[in-house]
Amino acid sequence: MILLVSVKFTAGSPESDHYCGLIQDYAKSHYPRTNFRQFVFVSIKHQQLFYIEEGKAKLVFSVSTAKKGFGFTYNSEQTPTGLHCIKGCIGNATPSGGVIDKNGFTGKKAEIVSEAISTGKDIITTRAYRLDGMENGKNKGGKVDSYSRDIMLHGTHEEGLIGKPASHGCIRMRNEDILMLEPLLKDGLPVLILHY
């Protein structure tokens, strides 16, 4: 599957449904033991996240993957590709823009930066969904383990950078977008990350 141009997709459009159908076919052929009736797909090329149900794009959001590209090793600050699943949420009931650390909501609220500038900080906000790699030796186990690397799908204070690579390895979302997606992000939900 090769896409020659980078475009921004919208939920429900014929273009996004065609694209998501191709992604679902890819997923089923490469991971035949996984149920892809509902799943999340992250496109590094398009800097977009798709919630796909029965091959259709139900929701589409702009995201930011790693500034340093895709990769798997510890301390690389790269986004790992391949099959993952949701494994836990940090910060349940945190208000939009609330700052999260490994213990949950800190009680602080971040200043949301809407300009396309880097603050030099990597503040996690609103929700943080941990991703568990499903491919031994690629994104699971040893120095390539996505869960041990704390790879997450989370809100960010740097909303102005959403839509281009800017993270330290995680997948960043706008705070209101991750809240919209929250009811669908159940433990075990497949999350497929590709550079397509």
pLDDT digits (tens, 9 = 90+) for 101-124: 999 999 999 999 999 999 999 999
- Classify 103 as helix, strand or coil: coil
Is 7 inside any structural domain? no
pLDDT score for 2:
37
Per-residue pLDDT, 5: 44
Q: What is the mean pLDDT of each run of 10 residues along the chain (196 residues)?
A: 57 89 94 96 97 94 96 93 97 96 95 94 97 97 96 98 96 97 97 94
* Tokens found for residue 169: 């390895």
Distance CA 162, CA 52 (A): 20
* Residue 76 covered by a domain: yes
- pTM for the structure as a whole: 0.94
Q: Which amino acid, 63?
A: V
Return the bridge partners of 83, or none: 192
The secondary structure of residue 140, as a DSSP letter, is B
**Is 5 inside any structural domain?**
no
149 lies in which domain range? 14-194
Output the pLDDT for position 107: 96
pLDDT given at position 44: 96
In a domain, 4, yes or no: no
Q: What is the pLDDT of residue 85?
A: 98
Residue 28 included in any domain: yes
Q: What is the pLDDT of residue 7?
A: 64
48 pairs with which residues across the strands?
43, 62
Asked whether 184 and 50 are in contact (CB, 8 A), the reply is no
Asked whether residue 3 is assigned to any structural domain, the reply reads no
CATH number at residue 80: 2.40.440.10
Q: Which two tokens stand for residue 9?
A: 């997709």
Specify burial of residue 112 (Cβ count, 10 A radius: 0-12, 13-18, 19+).
middle
Nearest to 126 by CA among 91, 159, 101, 166: 91
Structure tokens at 151: 């790879």
pLDDT of residue 6: 54
Count of structural domains within the chain? 1
Question: Quick one: which H or E segment has residue 50?
Answer: strand 48-53
**What pLDDT was estimated at residue 4?**
37
DSSP 168: S
